[in-house]
Amino acid sequence: MLLLLVTAAAAAAVGLAGIPGPALFAALLVGIGWALLARGPKLDVPAPAFSGAQAVIGVQIGLYLQLETLRAISGDWLPVAIVSLLTLGATLLAGLGLARVTKLDAPTASLGMVAGGASGIVAISRELGADDRLVAVMQYVRLLAIVMLTPLLASVAFGASTGGGDGGTPIVSADGIALTVGASVVGVLAGRALRLPAGSLLGPMVVVGALALTGVVDGVRVPEVLQQPAFAAIGLQVGLRFTPESLRRARDTLLPVVAAITALIAVCAALGWLLATLAGVSQLDGYLATTPGGLYAVLATAVASGSNATFVLAVQSLRLFVMVLAAPPIIRRLAT
């Protein structure tokens, strides 16, 4: 109970600081501190709670696959597909390069560099044979870099005025709770029956993605009352497994990780120029559509700067869906 209360207080404080995904980020830090400093029996997140958290995140990712998303890029599907595949390739190359120059194994380095879906990637990394502690550190270093750099580069490089935020997620909603619970149960059972890798996340994601494409769940969102506890469970599960040795490994690989993230941001900016040229959108739209993650910060910048937010959301959402869906089989292949 004390651990949960501290986590809730830390999440509120992190949210006030404007950091995206405050529950996961705060729970990760609290879990690390508890694992390293607390005395007494070792705590862990119960397996059913962790599977439930994965399912909730899967539902949230599946909801990004909306009909409006596909319509917004229907005329530019080829350049969007090319750029999405090149982004996936760039993240894998960045991960493999990082594994070559550090002591990180290929699955851990590659998952740490996956551009987008930080919560989903962290949630499934342990199942895929990666060190989820180091994956979480790398994902959040990348996310914080994107959050800080996106408004700055949009203003300095493209002359856009930025600011403002984008909410829209209800605290409680009956339809959101019904969809999340129902799709989680069906998706987890289907994922296990089909033996999907990371089935607790991918099963609900595919189920909800199919429903979203039919338009049945238009306007439905995973409410905060389910979303934030799910993020906190993922963060605690990872943080509580830290040891002094794993913390030293994270510290020793920080500089190469920052260098790899910097290179990845530069490559994605180049892909943004390519997308803008091929799709006939502005350079700012191309840049915002191809940033390696930070979806909510990118959308806030797009709305505040008057960019084509629909196009940006469409490309980012589709790439996020592809990344999380493609990561498990690719990482399994790398592991073998």
**With contact defined as beta carbons under 8 Å apart, do 95 and 78 qualify?**
no
CA quadruple 248, 249, 253, 258: dihedral sign: negative
**First-to-last CA distance in the chain?**
41
Of 120, 124, 22, nearest to 64 (Cα)? 120
User: CA-CA distance, 213 to 202, in Å (whole number)?
Assistant: 16
**What is the pLDDT at residue 187?**
94
**What is the pLDDT at residue 313?**
79
Q: Which amino acid is at 194?
A: L
Q: Which amino acid is at 321?
A: F
User: CA-CA distance, 266 to 254, in Å (whole number)?
Assistant: 18
**What is the pLDDT at residue 300?**
62
Which residues make Cβ contacts (< 8 Å) with residue 104, sequence separation at least 6? 98, 112, 131, 134, 253
User: CA-CA distance, 226 to 244, in Å (whole number)?
Assistant: 32
The one-digit pLDDT tens for each residue of the chain (336 residues) are 999 999 999 999 887 876 656 787 888 889 989 988 888 778 889 989 989 998 998 898 888 777 777 777 888 889 988 998 898 889 889 999 999 999 899 899 999 998 877 778 888 888 888 998 899 888 888 877 887 677 778 777 777 655 444 455 688 889 999 999 999 999 999 988 988 777 888 899 889 989 988 888 888 889 989 988 998 998 898 888 888 888 888 888 889 999 999 999 999 999 999 999 998 889 999 999 998 877 766 766 776 677 787 788 788 888 888 888 888 888 888 777
User: CA-CA distance, 316 to 117, in Å (whole number)?
Assistant: 10
pTM score: 0.73
Give phi and psi for 54, each to the nearest 5.
-60, -40
Of 97, 107, 96, 173, nearest to 135 (Cα)? 107
DSSP labels, 96-108: HHHHHHSS--HHH
**With contact defined as beta carbons under 8 Å apart, do 46 and 254 qualify?**
no
**What is the pLDDT at residue 303?**
64
**What is the pLDDT at residue 311?**
86
**What is the pLDDT at residue 6?**
94
Residue 128 to residues 62, 105, 117, 332: CA-CA distances in angstroms? 20, 12, 16, 6
**What is the pLDDT at residue 76?**
87
